[in-house]
Amino acid sequence: MKVVIADDHAVVRSGFAMIINFQEDMEVVATAADGIEAYKMVAKHRPDILLMDLSMPPGESGLIATAKIHEDFPETNIIILTMHDDEEYLFHVLKKGARGYVLKNSPDEQLVSAIRMVHQGGVYIHPKLASSLVREFVSQDQQADENNPYQLLSTREVEILPLVAKGYGNKEIAEMLHISVKTVEAHKAKIMEKLNLKSRPELVEYAIKKKLLDF
């Protein structure tokens, strides 16, 4: 099976490539350092599996790229690689089309198992988060809009939230994401409204609590 690896750290890409290429039934056909490059590599190679890091440099995050790639190349199964073990990240990426969620500190054999499972049509969720996913879908009476406002955020708002919390200004965020300053301002207002936050310190506190910052 053909695999593309997208991660902004060269040493991580090399490490995962060694693990995957060691398998007789797997081959890394390309790597990418950000979401835009990941899209191009998928378009070029049409891999069976894309390993996608969520926390790549601003410009096109793994979350945004996941949604675009899933929409345009549904035959490529996406497995998310991340340090985030927060269940709300998990729910967002699954909604955007990911078929797997693997923590970067997982043993090598877990990554290999995830690739095989997803390639065979299954879904792989890191065991630490599987119970959270079950609870989420069992309680379908969940009034998510009221009890979990984070789920109301759009993909772009999920991307902007940590940037605001890190102290980036509207112009900086606009340049990073290739959108207008007015669009950033509109998204920020929506984030504050949806999360019922009144000030930036409250937003920073929320982001820290939800493990959305990766300094």
Least Cα distance to 160 among 142, 193, 144, 183 occurs for 183
Q: In the prediction, which pLDDT does 131 show?
A: 56
Contact 61, 54 (CB under 8 A): yes
Q: Could you tell me the domains of the chain? A: 2-138 (3.40.50.2300), 144-209 (1.10.10.10)
pLDDT in tens, 72-129: 999 999 999 887 666 666 777 787 889 998 888 889 999 999 999 999 999 888 776 6
For the range 166-172, what are the long-range contacts, defined as Cβ-Cβ under 8 Å and sequence gap of 24 or more?
A: 166/213, 166/215
The secondary element (H helix, E strand) that includes residue 146 is: helix 144-147
CA–CA separation, 179 and 181 (whole Å): 7
Note the pLDDT of residue 41.
97
pLDDT for 191 beyond 80? yes
> pTM of the predicted model, to two decimals?
0.66
- Determine the distance from the C-alpha atom of residue 191 to the mean position of all C-alpha atoms in its chain, rounded to a whole number: 18
- Strand 49-53 with 2-6, pairing: parallel
Asked if the model's pLDDT at residue 179 lies above 70, the reply is: yes
DSSP 8-state code for residue 77: E
Q: CB–CB of 214/83 below 8 Å?
A: yes
Give the relative orientation of helices 170-177 and 181-195 as an angle to the nearest 10 degrees: 110
The answer to whether residue 15 scores a pLDDT higher than 60 is yes
Which three-class secondary structure string do you get for 61-73?
CHHHHHHHHHHHC
Is 50 exceeded by the pLDDT of residue 62? yes
